Chains A and B, each alone.
Chain A
Amino acid sequence: MGLLRQSEKLGLPLMNLVRFKGMPILDQLNLEEKLLRTTSDNWCIVNDGANAPTVVMGVSGKPAELLELESVIGDNVPVIKRFTGGGTVIVDEGTIFVTLICNKDAVPKVQPYPRSIMSWSGKLYDEVFQGIGDFQLRENDYVFGNRKFGGNAQSITKDRWIHHTSFLWDYEDRNMTYLKLPSRAPEYRSARDHTEFVCRMREYLQRSAFIDKTIKALDNYFMVQPATPADVNSCQVAKFAHSTRLLSKQELEDACSSTKPGTIAQSASI
């Protein structure tokens, strides 16, 4: 209660901070969706590393176009389709996730539109990376120079929005080979392959330093209050149908076989 009064005095909205380490990305995404759709609080979720290499596609991603399916299936890499839009990433223990769930009026001058939200988050991370590397928001990515180290996605509902980022603090080169060169790519990518296009945040700052600086930057916009897992659980409704899902092996195999030349059909070209 005292904290509430303090925040009201300051005029800053409250934001609940939840921290995890090594939480499976599927669980994280389900939690995020639940908090977005069933609560009316502001949340910041930080997951310091997922638990195992997982491919995460956007809501309308097509496995055949985005993934090297044969190796994905062969190596049993889990593939998830998340509830937000955007591109495909492969996450593992070296990935740091920062998710912001806000009411549409939470930040002044930020409208519930993609550009407006990105512009604000770009400013937020400007503060985090001040003086570190040549940080900038480039199209929809966070880059050092022209190399991407953070990818974003959003979902905007009637009264709220979620903006989540996966930061490549570190990654395995090998894991990048599971991803195809996407047909839809930002212009600045200039058709570079993954190893030429992305970079590692670890070359620029420490893991804990990044997380601390991020929370500190959020303090300028919110009254950040640590929440415990119990707080999180109490906010959620009992039954919730997640949109994020794990693709089954069958689906991946079907997608894989659809890319191979099919049977001959009647000639109908003009």
Chain B
Amino acid sequence: MIPIRIVNRKRAWAAVTRRFLTSHAAQNPLSPPPAAVFTGHHGIPFLSHLPSRLARPSHAAAGFASSEGVSIGNFELILIVVLCWRWKRRCFSGIAAAGLPEDGTVDVPLAQTGEGIAECELLQWFVKEGDEVDEFQPLCEVQSDKATIEITSRYKGRVSRMLYVPGDIVKVGETLLKMVVDESQVPAQSLDSQVPIQVSGNLDSELSSGADLNTTGGGGVLCTPAVRHLAKQYGISLSGIQGSGKSGRVLKEDILKFAAQKGIIESSGIPLGDQLQDELGSVQVIENPSDKKVTLRGFQRAMVKTMSMAAKVPHFYFVEDIKCDALVELKASFQKQTTDPGVKHTFLPLLIKALSSALSLYPLVNSSFNEDAMEVVLKGSHNIGIAMATPSGLVVPNIKNVQSLSILEITMELARLQQLALANKLSPEDVTGGTVTLSNIGAIGGKFGSPLLNLPEVAIIAMGRIQKVPHFDEKGNVYPASIMTVNIGADHRVLDGATVARFCSEWKRLIEKPELFILQLR
């Protein structure tokens, strides 16, 4: 409903404007309209001019077809908008400001700093929150590849919120900071869609009231389209509301307060179905909980990319239960016998070492696939990645060359990586070069998961929590067994079920009978 109305109004406005332009053009086609036209006394001179034109509709001068105003096309409309924008930005103060969010805050993005540069590191801020800045004043310095670049401000205003700190990586297009700008400044992009609609909105009230736009009078009221829409939803006439914003602007809070006072019982205004009216009849207006936008950064952002790529790979899953009684006993023994109080023994190092042994027998599981070359690279080192949940998100550092490390060395290295991960201080070397990944989701809970591959690896193992479940022995007696369910996700382009099943059996064998490690001691 509303869009159609706007289109009509847009054309009506455009027609009026066209008539204005035409009449002016007849005098002097090349120069902009005389300044006198733009000196309305309440900041919206252009609009103030229109009603008087409407009052004396003149059939357009030669050269333009006069009609009900529906023949003006998109090009003319854009031209009008561009011309108005260029002549005097200030003449749109009322309109433009109405196009901004109520509090005049704009998002300042990291603009494109050069072809192909997708992200920059923020090096330093030159301003702080609360500072007044001028147009073209340097705001911050960023680094992209080889260059450090000063980013200057497009607007004159006040820094309200800085969204990054030095050291952060910012993608081109992301908001660097928020600024409160003066009403007279309009981000260019808001004009295209906002102005015609907003003007038409004002024109609506203009036409109905027939009076000049006046903040104090009963005529048109200053407010944003969103607020106008809200008022319409509640069936509230804006003219009856005292605006508490700048220059008497009606704000959202004013609408809500007014609606709360009056209740939302007025049947004409409620956008809800009739049957709901009774139920809501006596309900106070409560503000809807607002959505919160969270821009993904850092690890979360990387996760979007990596998981999207992983999803393209044909996965298959092999699930197995592993008896961990011996493992539990062994870990307890390590913990009891340990001479170093700083070392904390867990299951993971044992599982990691057993995994490495199994990989030695099934090197295809420790490989990477190059689809373009149709070749599989059997990796020499067992760089086993351990998925970690950090406050910053999912990260997978890997322990290098597990085949050459003792279980104690694995324990130490694991602890080092965990410490760095929690502090968000992992180096690029720590997180690259992995050949297979372990995900110990069981540490948090759950039976098992269906993990996605950590490309370009071909296998990932998710381990569930070790749970005590009843088992039957050979004699049919029930005994408690510690069982861990594992789910091996594998790239079906490289691995088949049989290989993974055999690999898993080997790994399971070592975990269930850890004394077999001794056979491998050198």
- Tell yes or no: B285 within 8 A of A by CB: no
Contact A269 B418 (CB under 8 A): yes
Contact B150 A269 (CB under 8 A): no
- Tell yes or no: B21 within 8 A of A by CB: no
Q: Chain B: which residue is nearest A154 at the CB level?
A: B147
Contact A261 B418 (CB under 8 A): no
By size class, the interface of chain B is 35 or more
Contact B121 A60 (CB under 8 A): yes
B residues less than 8 Å from A85 (CB atoms): 143-148
- Tell yes or no: B357 within 8 A of A by CB: no
A residues less than 8 Å from B262 (CB atoms): none
Separation in Å of the A254 CB from the closest CB of chain B? 13
Contact B413 A140 (CB under 8 A): no
- Contact bitstring B440-455, A, C-beta under 8 A = 1, else 0: 1101100000000000
A residues less than 8 Å from B346 (CB atoms): 267
Q: Using known A-B contacts A115-B114, A269-B386, A270-B389, determine if residue A65 contacts B415 with beta carbons closer than 8 Å.
A: no
- Tell yes or no: A83 within 8 A of B by CB: yes
A residues less than 8 Å from B413 (CB atoms): 261
Contact A64 B143 (CB under 8 A): no
- Tell yes or no: A76 within 8 A of B by CB: no
Cα A118 to Cα B152 with chains together (Å) = 21
Partner of B414, one of A59, A86, A155, A269: A269
Contact A114 B143 (CB under 8 A): no
- Tell yes or no: B6 within 8 A of A by CB: no
- Tell yes or no: A54 within 8 A of B by CB: no
Which residues of B425-468 have CB atoms within 8 Å of chain A's CB atoms?
427-429, 432, 439-441, 443-444
Contact B427 A64 (CB under 8 A): yes
B residues less than 8 Å from A114 (CB atoms): 113-114, 117, 144-147, 149
- Tell yes or no: A263 within 8 A of B by CB: yes
Contact B150 A157 (CB under 8 A): yes
B residues less than 8 Å from A64 (CB atoms): 427
Cα A262 to Cα B422 with chains together (Å) = 13
Contact A65 B428 (CB under 8 A): yes
- Tell yes or no: A264 within 8 A of B by CB: yes
Contact A183 B388 (CB under 8 A): no
- Tell yes or no: B342 within 8 A of A by CB: yes
Separation in Å of the B72 CB from the closest CB of chain A? 37
- Tell yes or no: B241 within 8 A of A by CB: no
- Tell yes or no: A238 within 8 A of B by CB: no
Separation in Å of the B400 CB from the closest CB of chain A? 12
Contact A153 B114 (CB under 8 A): no
- Tell yes or no: B343 within 8 A of A by CB: yes
Q: Chain B: which residue is nearest A160 at the CB level?
A: B150
Separation in Å of the A68 CB from the closest CB of chain B? 13
- Tell yes or no: B344 within 8 A of A by CB: yes
Separation in Å of the A31 CB from the closest CB of chain B? 17
Cα A152 to Cα B416 with chains together (Å) = 36
A residues less than 8 Å from B494 (CB atoms): none
- Tell yes or no: A20 within 8 A of B by CB: no
Partner of B114, one of A60, A113, A269: A113
B residues less than 8 Å from A230 (CB atoms): none
Cα A114 to Cα B146 with chains together (Å) = 8
Cα A183 to Cα B432 with chains together (Å) = 10
Which residues of B404-428 have CB atoms within 8 Å of chain A's CB atoms?
411-416, 418-422, 427-428
- Tell yes or no: A22 within 8 A of B by CB: no
Separation in Å of the B302 CB from the closest CB of chain A? 15
- Contact bitstring B188-209, A, C-beta under 8 A = 1, else 0: 0000000000000000000000
Cα A127 to Cα B157 with chains together (Å) = 46
Q: Using known A-B contacts A60-B143, A65-B427, A183-B432, determine if residue A113 contacts B113 with beta carbons closer than 8 Å.
A: yes
Count chain A CB atoms within 10 A of each CB in B148, B343, B388, B439 and give the residue with the most. Answer: B148
Separation in Å of the A105 CB from the closest CB of chain B? 15
Q: Using known A-B contacts A183-B432, A269-B440, determine if residue A116 contacts B147 with beta carbons closer than 8 Å.
A: no
Which residues of A107-129 have CB atoms within 8 Å of chain B's CB atoms?
113-118
- Tell yes or no: B115 within 8 A of A by CB: yes
- Tell yes or no: A265 within 8 A of B by CB: yes
Q: Chain A: which residue is nearest B444 at the CB level?
A: A270
Q: Using known A-B contacts A183-B429, A267-B348, A269-B414, determine if residue A262 contacts B419 with beta carbons closer than 8 Å.
A: yes
Contact B344 A267 (CB under 8 A): yes
Contact B388 A270 (CB under 8 A): yes
Q: Using known A-B contacts A60-B123, A114-B144, determine if residue A264 contacts B429 with beta carbons closer than 8 Å.
A: no
Which residues of A89-116 have CB atoms within 8 Å of chain B's CB atoms?
113-116
Q: Using known A-B contacts A114-B113, A152-B146, A183-B432, determine if residue A269 contacts B348 with beta carbons closer than 8 Å.
A: yes
- Tell yes or no: A266 within 8 A of B by CB: yes
Q: Chain A: which residue is nearest B416 at the CB level?
A: A261
Separation in Å of the A270 CB from the closest CB of chain B? 5
Cα A269 to Cα B146 with chains together (Å) = 36
Contact B418 A265 (CB under 8 A): yes
Cα A270 to Cα B397 with chains together (Å) = 12
Cα A91 to Cα B94 with chains together (Å) = 60
- Contact bitstring B470-506, A, C-beta under 8 A = 1, else 0: 0000000000000000000000000000000000000
B residues less than 8 Å from A65 (CB atoms): 427-429
Which residues of A136-186 have CB atoms within 8 Å of chain B's CB atoms?
140, 152-158, 183
Contact B342 A263 (CB under 8 A): yes
Contact A268 B389 (CB under 8 A): yes
Contact A155 B342 (CB under 8 A): no
- Tell yes or no: A84 within 8 A of B by CB: yes
- Tell yes or no: A58 within 8 A of B by CB: yes
Cα A264 to Cα B441 with chains together (Å) = 21
Q: Chain A: which residue is nearest B347 at the CB level?
A: A267
Contact B441 A270 (CB under 8 A): yes
Contact B145 A140 (CB under 8 A): yes
A residues less than 8 Å from B146 (CB atoms): 58, 84-87, 114, 118, 140, 152-154
- Tell yes or no: B104 within 8 A of A by CB: no
Cα A269 to Cα B463 with chains together (Å) = 12
Which residues of B40-68 have CB atoms within 8 Å of chain A's CB atoms?
none
B residues less than 8 Å from A157 (CB atoms): 138, 150
Separation in Å of the A48 CB from the closest CB of chain B? 23
Q: Chain A: which residue is nearest B432 at the CB level?
A: A183
B residues less than 8 Å from A265 (CB atoms): 415, 418-419, 422
Cα A45 to Cα B113 with chains together (Å) = 26
A residues less than 8 Å from B150 (CB atoms): 156-158
B residues less than 8 Å from A269 (CB atoms): 348, 386-389, 414, 418, 440, 443
Contact A264 B412 (CB under 8 A): yes
Give 9 CB contacts A-B under 8 Å: A58-B143, A84-B147, A84-B148, A85-B145, A114-B147, A140-B146, A265-B418, A269-B389, A270-B443
Pairs of residues from A and B, 9 with the lowest C-beta to C-beta distance, nearest first:
A154-B147, A114-B147, A183-B428, A113-B114, A265-B419, A86-B146, A85-B143, A264-B415, A115-B114
Residues on B lying within 8 angstroms of A by beta carbon are 113-117, 121, 123, 136, 138, 143-150, 152, 167, 342-344, 346, 348, 386-389, 411-416, 418-422, 427-429, 432, 439-441, 443-444
Given contacts A58-B143, A60-B167, 16 further A-B contacts (CB under 8 A): A59-B123, A59-B148, A65-B428, A85-B146, A116-B114, A153-B146, A154-B146, A155-B147, A156-B150, A262-B415, A263-B419, A266-B344, A267-B414, A270-B441, A270-B443, A270-B444
